[in-house]
Amino acid sequence: MKYKDKKKVLVIGSLNVDMVTNVDHTPVAGETILGDKLDLIPGGKGANQACAAGRLGADVTMFGALGDDQYAMISKKSLIDSGINVSYLIKKKHTGTGVALITVDKEGDNSIVVIPGANAKLSMEDIDRNIVLIEQSDIVVFQLEIPVETVLYAARKAKELNKLVILDPAPAPPEFPMELYRYVDVIKPNETELGILAKTENVLENLYEATELLKDYGVKHVIVTLGNKGVYVNSFSQGIEQIPSYEVQVVDTTAAGDSFTASLALMLAEGKELMEAVRYANLVAAIVVTRKGAQSSIPSVDEVREYEG
Ligand code: ATP
């Protein structure tokens, strides 16, 4: 498909820099330990999803807020390298870029402190001032690492303008605004997030009831990612289907969910049917879990084609 024929994807969300060090064990209160070295890695769910969609060939614009510090460029450069339009990113004065402080212990377990910085300041006024972005896009993708009221406002605008709205409800807030469901065409929780949104325990045994509830609230298609158990789809038009995951050698599951959402957006932008989009996302995410890192683990279009064989 030619670039100019593709629908335009707008990602509205977070941009972070992950500061990662490897440690022997996670320090307890009052303890000082040594890390091996410091890696500065671009992250944030919004930026990860924009990068993934861009690398897989979508026409993507990223909208979000960076700080006025040296970390902003790390985030921006990675987006530029993935072919994303970054010309509308906002720089918040006297504010830091979003940062995640991550220690990884020798068992591979993470401990993370997130400092939202500029992400927390992305406001409804910022959306209004840049409404042209929503007007000019076809598909708008959200996550919940920016203020939920900003997401609600922008999603309402997107729906008023007849755009397709995709929501990756991560991290799931304890209080989710009910009105938001009405503006969402596709929601993609993982099983934990679905449990929080539907206030359901044992979500795996209640997938039908929990996803029906989100449809009752107004969402059209509910797509639940279930890690190595694959994907559960409950769609108002395509029915219900559970698709198994690919059997792969798992190295690192970071960004599996983000690349899944990005692939969905890409395929829907190319005019594909929902179920075809889900199958493609399932494949891309399976490739991602065989590689280390977040944005670094996302395959190119050609690499996905090789796996499709
Ligand atoms: P993350 O927060 O790590 O980005 P997530 O919790 O949002 O991920 P998951 O449900 O863990 O999302 O995984 C998303 C998708 O990635 C799954 O639906 C599946 O397609 C793929 N996937 C994840 N883990 C595996 C696995 N072990 N084997 C094959 N595919 C996997």
Characterize the bridge pairing of strands 139-142 and 8-12: parallel
Of all atoms in ligand 1, which is nearest to the CA of residue 191? 10
Q: pLDDT tens, 220-259?
A: 999 999 999 999 999 999 999 999 999 999 988 888 999 9
CB atoms within 10 A of CB 163: 21
Verify whether ligand 1 is closer than 6 Å to residue 227 (CB atom): yes
Residue owning the nearest CA to atom 3 of ligand 1:
254
Separation CA 22–CA 182 (nearest Å): 43
Of all atoms in ligand 1, which is nearest to the CA of residue 254? 3
Is 138 catalytic? The answer is no
CA 112 to chain CA centroid, nearest Å: 18
65 Cα: distance to centroid of ligand 1 (angstroms): 27
255 Cα: distance to centroid of ligand 1 (angstroms): 8
Most informative mutation of 289, 296, 304 for ligand 1 (most atoms within 8 A of CB): 289
Q: Which of 128, 138, 258, 302 is catalytic?
A: 258
Of all atoms in ligand 1, which is nearest to the CA of residue 259? 4
CA angle 176, 152, 147 (to 5 degrees): 75
Separation CA 86–CA 46 (nearest Å): 12
Of all atoms in ligand 1, which is nearest to the CA of residue 246? 29
251 Cα: distance to centroid of ligand 1 (angstroms): 12
CB atoms within 10 A of CB 134: 20
Spatial strand order of the sheet with 164-167 comes to 59-63, 8-12, 139-142, 164-167, 186-187, 221-225, 231-235, 239-243
Phi, psi torsion values for 19, nearest 5 degrees: -105, 110
Verify whether ligand 1 is closer than 6 Å to residue 289 (CB atom): yes
Taking 70 as the pLDDT cut, the residues of the chain under it are 1-5
Verify whether ligand 1 is closer than 6 Å to residue 226 (CB atom): yes
Give the global pTM: 0.95
pLDDT, position 3: 53
